[in-house]
Structure 1
Amino acid sequence: MLCSEALRSGSRVSNKYTFSANAGASSHPAAGKVARLGLGCRRAGSAAASVGLSASSFFSGGFASSAANDYNAMGSRYKAGAFGDVDSRTSSTPSVGAWFYVPELAVRDIYFNVPLDYSSPDGPFITIFVREVVAVGKEEHHQPYLLYLQGGPGFECGRPAEASGWMKKACEEYRVVLLDQRGTGLSTPLTASTLSQFTSAQQQASYLQHFRADNIVRDAEYVRSRLLPPGERWSILGQSYGGFCAVTYLSIAPGGLRLVLLTGGLPPLGEGCTADIVYRECFKRVALQNAKFYYRFPQDEELVRSIVLHLDAEGGVTLPSGGTLTPRVFQLLGLTGLGSAGGFERLHYLLERAWDPRLVPDAKRRLSHTFLRMVEVWLLDFDTNPLYALLHESIYCQGAASNWAAQRVREELGDQFDAVKVAKGGGKVLFTGEMIFPWMFDELNALKPLKEVAEILASKEDWPPLYNLETLARNTVPVAAAVYYEDMYVSFKLSDASAAKIRGIRTWVTNEYMHSGIREDGPRILDHLFGLLKGKFLLR
């Protein structure tokens, strides 16, 4: 049944366009060019006020009032007028670097100081880093702004090396702003090393609680108010988790937005913690992706079984950096190998280097150094970007704890993802997908120092809200979303349900692309999404 369903990927589900069922007509973005006035030449906060934003409530964590759109629905602990006068460190002109150049692009670096917690404007403070990117020759041209929100959580924006893909297309019309989300890249990056400066796991958890989408949006609004001319709004392109952040933006600060483009990034919009629902859908899709992989590469079934049985018999194998490769760590390769374009091929070519050749007939069979080193490279993100593991389940939480939802759902499935039992029974060993399990903080060297804080975050119940369903139901910001039918990371079923809750959203449902569509064919995807908002694809 799974294999026959997997073959359906050759059919064409693409070019299906939908409109939010509860929606009224969404307004179109203004076509005119904006006046660029430069940085630091006006009172901070004027831009926020001119688009109907009450800075005092927004920066305290308040959500938009659907009745009055005054952002005071949840009250405010932030004093009126404080947005522009938080502290000399935050009200001063941002640090702006000189333009530098890569092929066809002009780039400059900009740093801001912002509060860690916007309800405590007197500090402590963190650094927020953005890169402004324009086509060469347009450094001083008047163009609208497009903010790119990276997938994650816990990853910085890619570094532009040339004009290509979606970036080249976007720079035809926009000044692109690449935001390193707080805790990543050059925005006060958080690693096991930096977090070790705290004296307890509880202190670490208290710090980390401020690194979710709500504060990423507050950082973005802070940047917008200082980077753009007074009263000017910007547009957003949100990929994956960046799309989740964009929907939070629509919930708490829609007045700052001209239009929103989402690619594989419609979040689940349920109450409480939706992680259990997410992972039940995710495990289904991961099982299907495994079936597709083995259909493509049936010779790998026995190879994967042999690797699992060897790891089990050896009690794990030491990796070059000192960690241990266990059967369930081996299964984590599905995170990268099953869900993006070219992933099946990369996984297959990784597996083919699994074993050392036997130069002596009675030599003990060993996994090759090349294979073990490549496995480490595939798992490197947990070392360099631990926020991905620490905060992953929290992105689904509003007023409830996740309590290791992925592990609990895995256990609901019995032995389906038990690699050792399946291998001993001669079955197909299934790789796992985008899930974080508690044992990873025991078995992955990079995560071991963070085990205690991970437990605290997993049991945290008082996560603030990320979405306002009333505001989304009254949305007037033009929104277009590419929804990938066979997305392994963001469920099509849940995305479709969420789209129905956002007024005016236009969705393009396609199976031409995996979750990595923006990387595969960025210019075409942007053309489609802009076409939905500019009348190229009309309602029918």
Structure 2
Amino acid sequence: MTVREHIITVPLDYSERPTRFSGQTIKLFAYELSPHTRKEHLPWLLYLQGGPGFEAPRPYFVSAWNKPALDSHRVLLLDQRGTGGSAPVTTSNLAKRGGPEEQAEYLALFRQGGHGGADNIVRDCEVVRKLLVSPSSYGGRWALLGQSFGGFCVTSYLSMAPEGVLEAMLTGGLPPGVTMACSADAVYRALHARILRANEKYYKRYPDDVELVTRIVQYLAAQPGGGAPLPDGSVLTPRLFQTLGLNGLGSGGSFERLHFLLESFFDADEEMTPRFAKSFLSWLTWDTNPLYALLHEPIYCQPGGAANWAADRVRNSPPFADLFDAHKAVQENRPVMFTGECVYKFHYEDVACLRPFKETAELLARKSDWGPLYDADKLACNRVPTAAIAYLDDVFVDFNMSQETANRIQGLKLWATNEFRHSGIRDEGHRIFDRLLGLVRNAVFD
């Protein structure tokens, strides 16, 4: 394949009303991939990465999904604003934005929706589309492929600017509660229940890890301050240790990675090994991709809805309060449960790089004047050929809520399966891309 780089200037804030950011711009970065012998007649395909707050994958090689994609499209890997090469938000440059109020106001511009309903990620995409896609090429439209949060963005795109879309494909990314002011509470009730079932499957596969995890929790609880210090200044408390379920229970091969990581915890003197400490930190992305933590719950909020630490409230309410209490599990001689894709208040205490942003996170949690993310009426009248794969056992995006959204998008063809985990596009991308493309291209509309 041939790889080209694109740098495009866009407004920081698209609001029509004056704001403190009016007139400021940011630069977006993207990789264009095309067959080695360029085929200008091929339609463009915009890939939107999961997250929020993660950059597009780097084209080190032709991956499982973009190999077939290059047979039918020119692929654009766009770093969404605030990530990768697109005005990345880091723990160091965010601290320079002023106090918590200024930081929160700035961060609100890096969500799907911004001030006054300005859908910033979609508007960025539209600027890029109009610059790169010739009006003579498929009417100036391009195809969309969204993974996880990228699928949320695709759904916003179908709500806000469907006229720019040729065909749309979503992988594990049908957003829940598109008609709700804030779906976060419902989302986390469903996901906490799902991660419990994933724990049960994990311990069934590795039953000896029940005792090992108990020993680890006992060791951490016995440390001065209730946790073991990590090299970056974080404190590995039992509750932070439980968050290994985020990367250890939801993707292809993750059970094995978690098992082998746990095996490395104790040295010959029953102390935590430097290898485990280093590996634990490498599993987390709070320092390199802080948007993931700071905007994790706001991606579920529309006008009038505030997240108010939904995951934290759900975890600390019946029946989950007891089920996820590591200390109580040890006392009652039952397995310690790992948690899933959640950001809790304690992250801003236990994780060193997040501590300076605790008040900023609090402001974002209380914020309710978000812009709209989805237009249910437009989705109900969708004319863009659209297909989605939803995973029955997904611990990141609840299948039942995904199905509800699928039913609201006219013409969407849903492929429901338990063949893959949430990482299906990475693990079996060729099969998934080919089938979704077949579904959208066979779509028939009146």
TM-score normalized with structure 2 length: 0.94
Q: Deviations over 1:310-368 (max 9, x none)?
A: 1111121011222211001100100000000000000000001110113xxxxxx3111
Equivalences for residues 399-478 of structure 1 within 5 A: 399=303, 400-412=305-317, 413-478=320-385
Task: Tell me whether 1:298 sits opposite 2:207 in the alignment.
Answer: yes
The offset of 1:533, in angstroms, is 2.4
Specify the alignment match of 2:249 in structure 1: 338
1:217-241 alpha-carbon deviations (Å, 9 max, x no partner): 0000010011111241000000000
SS in 2 for 1:414: helix
Q: Distance in 1 between matches of 2:179 and 2:353?
A: 33
Q: Percent identity?
A: 51
* Aligned: 1:209 with 2:114: no
Give the alignment's Cα RMSD to 1 decimal.
Answer: 1.4
Taking the aligned partners of 1:284 and 1:355, their CA distance within structure 2 comes to 30
Question: 1:382 is paired with a residue of what secondary structure?
Answer: coil
State the partner residue of 1:220: 125
Residue number among 153, 168, 179 corresponding to 1:245 in the alignment:
153
State whether residues 309 and 424 of structure 1, in contact with CA within 8 Å, keep that contact through their aligned partners in structure 2.
Answer: no
After superposition, what is the alpha-carbon deviation per residue over 1:460-492, rounded to whole angstroms, capped at 9, x for unaligned? 011111000000001100000001111110000
Query: 134, 138, 146: which is aligned to 2:45?
Result: 146
Check if 1:114 corresponds to 2:114: no
- Displacement of 1:414 in angstroms is 2.4
What is the aligned counterpart of 2:198 among 284, 289, 296?
Answer: 289
Q: Is the 8 A contact 1:485 1:492 kept in 2?
A: yes
* Aligned pairs for 1:121-200 within 5 A: 122-138=22-38, 141-200=40-99
Q: Alpha-carbon deviation of 1:538?
A: 9.4
Q: Secondary structure at the match of 1:236?
A: strand
CA distance in 2, matches of 1:124, 1:375: 38
The amino acid of 2:247's aligned partner reads T
Confirm or deny that 1:233 pairs with 2:141.
yes
- Find the aligned partners of 1:123 and 1:148 in 2 and give their Cα distance: 28
* Deviation at residue 270 of structure 1 after TM alignment: 3.0
Aligned-partner residue type, residue 323 of structure 1? S
Supply the distance in 2 between the matched residues of 1:255 and 1:453 (Cα, whole angstroms).
37
Partner of 2:268: 357
Q: Take 1:534 and 1:244, find their aligned partners in 2: how far apart are those partners?
A: 21
Distance 1:420 1:162, change over 3 A: same
Shift of residue 290, structure 1, vs aligned partner: 0.3
CA–CA distance in 1 between the matches of 2:189 and 2:179? 15
Q: Aligned partners of 2:238 and 2:172: how far apart in 1? A: 30
1:177 counterpart SS class: strand
Cα distance in 2, alignment partners of residues 270 and 338 from structure 1: 29
Number of the residue aligned with 1:312:
221
Amino acid paired to 1:527: D
Say whether 1:502 aligns with 2:402.
no
Q: Pick the aligned partner of 1:393 from 285, 297, 300.
A: 297
Alignment deviations for residues 103-145 of structure 1 (CA, whole Å, 9 cap, x no partner): xx2111111111111125951111111111112121x632110
Query: What's the counterpart of residue 324 of structure 1?
Result: 235
Q: Which amino acid aligns with 2:363?
A: I
Provide the C-alpha distance between the structure 2 equivalents of 1:118 and 1:534, rounded to a whole number of angstroms: 34
Q: After alignment, is 387-396 or 442-451 more displaced?
A: 442-451
Larger mean CA deviation between 500-509 and 161-170 belongs to 161-170
**Equivalent-residue separation in structure 2 for 1:348 and 1:324 (angstroms):** 22
Runs of 4+ deviating beyond 2 Å: none
SS class of match (1:237): strand
Larger helix percent: 2
* Normalised TM-score (structure 1): 0.77
Within 1, Cα distance between the matches of 2:369 and 2:444?
A: 43
- Map 1:38-77 to 2 at 5 A: none
Q: Which runs of 5+ in 2 are unaligned?
A: 113-118
Q: Residues of 2 paired with 1:300 and 1:271: CA distance?
A: 40
- 2: distance between equivalents of 1:132 and 1:266? 26
Contact 1:532 1:538 survives alignment (8 Å): no
Q: CA deviation at 1:516?
A: 0.5
Tell me the alpha carbon deviations over residues 13-44 of structure 1, each in whole angstroms, 9 at most, x when there is no partner: xxxxxxxxxxxxxxxxxxxxxxxxxxxxxxxx
Give the whole-Å Cα distance in 2 for the aligned partners of 1:183 and 1:353: 35
For residues 434 and 290 of structure 1, what CA distance do their matches in structure 2 show?
13
CA positional deviation for 1:164: 2.9
* 3-state SS of 2:72 partner: coil
Which amino acid in the other structure matches residue 375 of structure 1? Answer: F
In 2, Cα distance between the equivalents of 1:343 and 1:479?
30
Letter in 2 for 1:282: L
CA positional deviation for 1:424: 2.0
Q: Which amino acid aligns with 1:504?
A: G
Q: Which residue of 2 aligns with 1:522?
A: 429
Question: How many residues of Structure 1 are paired with residues of Structure 2 in the alignment?
Answer: 426
Q: Evaluate the alpha carbon distance shift between residue 351 and residue 538 of structure 1 in structure 2; reply closer, same or farther with a 3 A threshold.
A: farther
Partners in 2 of 1:344 and 1:271 — Cα distance? 34
Q: Distance in 2 between matches of 1:330 and 1:155?
A: 23
Rg bigger for which structure? 1
Contact 1:217 1:249 in 2 (8 A): yes
Q: Which amino acid aligns with 1:306?
A: R
User: How far, CA to CA, are the matches of 1:129 and 1:345 in structure 2?
Assistant: 35
Deviations 1:290-324 (A, max 9, x none): 00000000000000011011111112101122221
> Match of 1:64?
none
Amino acid at match of 1:206: E
